Amino acid sequence: MKYPAQTIKPFRNLNDKRIIAKFEIERQYWSDSGVDCGIRVTTIVCVDIKLY
């Protein structure tokens, strides 16, 4: 059984041409290996919470 491959990157990196080129190399590698692949995008949300 083959498991899907995932690349995890912060949202802010999606505008970087070098990162996109690396994604494509990785996608092609996994595709040639017969493995499903995808990109998981992370975002960080900061919330100021006051506990009383």
In a domain, 20, yes or no: yes
In a domain, 18, yes or no: yes
pLDDT reading at 1 higher than 60:
no
In a domain, 50, yes or no: no
Q: How far apart are CA 27 and CA 42, in angstroms?
A: 18
pLDDT at residue 25, as a whole number:
92
pTM here is 0.62
In a domain, 16, yes or no: yes
* pLDDT tens-digit series, residues 3-49: 678 888 888 888 889 988 988 898 899 889 888 888 777 777 666 66
Domain that holds residue 26: 5-42
Q: What φ, ψ does residue 12 adopt, rounded to 5°?
A: -65, -20
pLDDT at residue 45, as a whole number:
67
Total domain count, the chain: 1
